Structure 1
Amino acid sequence: MINIKNIFLIIAFVIESFYLLTCPFNVYAKEELPVAPKMNAKAWVLIDYSNGTVLSEFNSDKKLNPASLTKMMTSYVIGQKIKEGKIKYEDIVTINKDAWAPGNPLLQGSSLMFIKPGDQVSVYDLNKGVAIQSGNDACIALADYIGGSQNAFVDLMNYYVKVLGLKNTHFMTVHGLDSDGQYSTAHDMAIIGQALIRDVPKEYELNKEKEFTFNHIKQINRNKLLWSNVLKVDGIKTGHTLGAGNNLVASAVDNNTRLISVILGAPNDPVRFTDSERLLIWGFNFFETVNPIKANVPLTSRRVWFGKSSKVNIGINNDVSLTIIKDQKQDVKINFSLNSERLDAPLKKGQIIGKVVFKIQDKEVDDCPLVVLNEVKKGNFFSRFIDFIIIKINTWFGLSL
């Protein structure tokens, strides 16, 4: 005998399975982008840190000389080795002769921490020498300590180039002084900056310090945007050589939005800072980052068959961030769909069961996997048998589950 109450429940589940979730958020559409200011440089790019969205670019994939922006990758490798426990901030490094400027013609006239052979310097202080003073000698000292030689450390740098998926970057030095075969791009440098902030935040924090004194020599951070009155800049790196011109990677934060700008080949020192500031201000004026969906927060629940539980929560397992034009949040639609009409136990936590799609003006602009948020094990024989009967009855009546 068919239970009328069960039939109504089944009909409710059918209606629920076709429900599309919508939320009032808006992803930017390229045709709506306001015009970006033109930079006086060989190449530039502005990205949203949270998702890598490019907001403005010119020659962003052109291979150019990175100069001391190379030190961002040097810092990244150091930070990774600290995370791995291979070295510690308090480790003491004995300085070798190759890190001594008077004994190394390549270093003479370049930016230095002013260390000398036999000095006992902590990894932490050498890190400051790299990040704040842009010390080429400090880079060599840390490369020798971590890799055993500069060449071995450069190999580590290029290993992480591959790990980060960079296609247009190759390093030949640990410090960035001009060298044949060394190149990068504005976009790749933005990705390295993104990785530095995301993967080794303690290492990145050194870049916001405005000065460092070592051996009674006080040096000021070369990134003048740290003193900006209109931006909250907390990094990242300057670079200059005869072959490169004037380079700058800068990152700033405004509420929930962090942007990264890269200027390569500016004609002089003031221009790289004024243009970077203009580019960042433009970005913050017109864009913002929103998080319409949070990881592990249920979007909704769905009926589960043959399980210990009859329902399962579904959502996403990684936070989603979207770059939107300000004041247009209401245009974004968030839809989700299941790969199959029926969910059968067992279901594993994190199992992909469908797709979440972000749309603007009926155009898909992004998507992410729809997953199970909690495990559902198989039910006992009796509960599975009941579900089997219900499914059969629905099949006889031509109803969807």
Structure 2
Amino acid sequence: MRLAVFATPSRLGRVFSCFLTVLLTLALPVLLVQQARAAETIVTKAPMAFLYEPSSGTILFAKAPDQTFVPGALAKVMTAATVFQALKDGDLKLDQLCKVSEHAWRTGGAPSGRGATMFAAIKSEVSVEDLLKGLLVHNGNDSAIVLAECLDGSEQAFAGRMTTLAQKIGMTNSRFANPTGYAEDPSQTTVRDQARLAEYILESHADLYPMFAIPDFTWNNIFQRNKNPLLGEIRNLDGLGGGADKEDGYSGLGSVDRNGRRVIAAVAGLTSDKHRLQTLKEVIEGAWEYFTIKTLFTAGETVADGRVFGGTESSVPLISRDDVNVLLPRGTTLDYRIRVVYPGPISAPVEKGQPAGEIRVIGKDGIVYRAPLVTGAAVGEGPLIGRALDGLQELLFGWIG
């Protein structure tokens, strides 16, 4: 494993500013070296796949993670997340009644002939809670449209809310055209963004997440089992959903919790529902077959030294705030680097425990893990002459690690 220390530019006082590049490169004992053997990593024929471990923030596998695809009915996971957030913000209430418009009935209900429905009767009133069950258990198009109209008056306005929320939570390559996923102007998303969506729901709406795993729901005297094609097919999977598009194929988003370890997987571009299920299984099972937790640094351990400007000491230890536990391949030969990035040099006085950048684990597909660092000691403000010399060095030469 190689450790590189970087300082990002910061303003120093009123006069001096520093623009720093690489400060230090040093060798650590070889924990991770060379390239992982093919037999020690996940292999999938899926055109797009993403596997993520949210508790440590580790990307376990990525294949074309930012290639866009049309999600089809998978867009309803975003619809659910948008309604969850509206409930949290107080814009809706679970017991609030929503009227089933003729548009929702004709476009998404029984007369539409467009797939799944909860069979909500025209002009009837349905609670938000039951509409969510209709959305997540029945995969109901009418449920999605009624929720959209109840919250924003139209599918188009609700789609704007969906896209705004997606951008806010970090789904940078996603846009949504409507709450059902069916449109001539289709929605767009990526497997990375779908994994981020699942993580957001798990983090921000843990109280409502169990609705994805409700086994069945009876509405309008019609009994329907959960239509999520992944539930019951992958051990310990408890959400989220699947979709299909004529051109872009089948996609799926799943979350599995086994013995306290949760992973999120997203796949897309598959040729059939059977192919989607098989591929998602392969990717998810890879989390346990090929990866194990490795502690790179324990809480309080010094990771690197950060340069200090104008202090009684010229550097301060940068320590890990928490244990740095990363899911890494089980094999003995791996290809990862560690990078420490902090805003620097750090201006004195420095308090012990103040935030001081982050540690990043970088694989062949970019950053797979990041965690915060803090200062491990206090550094007082140095005498005027020392600060002047530091300023002169920075002005003439920059900071040299």
Question: Normalization by structure 1: what TM-score?
Answer: 0.70
> What residue in structure 2 maps to residue 267 of structure 1?
271
Measured against aligned partners, the alpha-carbon deviations of 1:157-196 in whole angstroms (never above 9, x if no partner) come to: 1112322343432221111114224322333323322322
Shift of 1:83: 2.0
After superposing the two structures, state which structure 1 stretch, 284-293 or 260-269, moved more: 284-293
Contact 1:178 1:243 in 2 (8 A): no
* Structure showing the higher strand proportion among its residues: 2
- Asked whether the 8 Å contact 1:36–1:56 carries over to 2, the reply is no
Q: Check conservation: 1:28, 1:324, Cα contact below 8 A.
A: no
Change (3 A) 1:137 1:333: closer
Q: For residues 272-312 of structure 1, what are the alpha-carbon distances to aligned partners after superposition, in whole Å with 9 as ceiling and x for unaligned?
A: 21221122112320013556568xx5447x9x9xx9xxxx9
User: Is structure 2 residue 181 aligned with structure 1 residue 176?
Assistant: yes
Instruction: Map 1:149-298 onto structure 2 (within 5 A).
Output: 149-228=154-233, 231-289=235-293, 298=300
Give the stretch that moved more between structures: 271-280 or 66-75.
271-280
What is aligned with 1:53? Answer: 59
The alpha-carbon deviation at position 344 of structure 1 amounts to 5.0
Whether 1:69 aligns to 2:77 is no
Out of 44, 48, 54, the residue aligned to residue 48 of structure 2 is 44
Correspondence for 1:125 = 130
CA distance in 1, matches of 2:295, 2:95: 38
The unaligned stretches of length 5 or more in structure 2 are 1-25, 387-401
Q: Which amino acid aligns with 2:185?
A: D
Query: Which secondary structure state, in structure 1, belongs to the residue aligned with residue 208 of structure 2?
Result: helix
Structure 2: distance between partners of 1:53 and 1:82: 30
The structure with the largest helix share of the pair is: 1
SS at match of 1:227: coil
- Whether the aligned pair in 2 keeps the contact of 1:27 and 1:323 (CA below 8 Å) is no
| Distance apart, 1:341 and its partner CA | 10
Q: Which amino acid aligns with 2:283?
A: L
Task: Name the counterpart of 2:329.
Answer: 325
How much has 1:152 moved relative to structure 2? 0.7
* Percentage of matched positions with identical amino acids: 23
Q: 1:377 to 1:205 in 2, by over 3 A?
A: farther
- Tell me the equivalent position of 2:92: 87
Shift of 1:237: 0.3
- What is the CA distance between 1:114 and its match in structure 2? 1.2
C-alpha contact (below 8 Å) 2:242/2:252 kept by paired residues: yes
Match for 2:263: what amino acid?
L
Q: Deviation of residue 245 (structure 1)?
A: 3.4
- The structure number with the bigger radius of gyration is 1
RMSD across aligned positions (CA) = 4.6
Structure 1 residue ranges without an equivalent (≥5) = 1-19, 379-383, 392-401
| 2:374 equivalent in structure 1 | 371
CA contact (8 A) 2:37 2:333 kept: no
Amino acid at match of 1:88: K
Q: 1:397: which partner in 2?
A: none
1:350 aligns with 2:354: yes
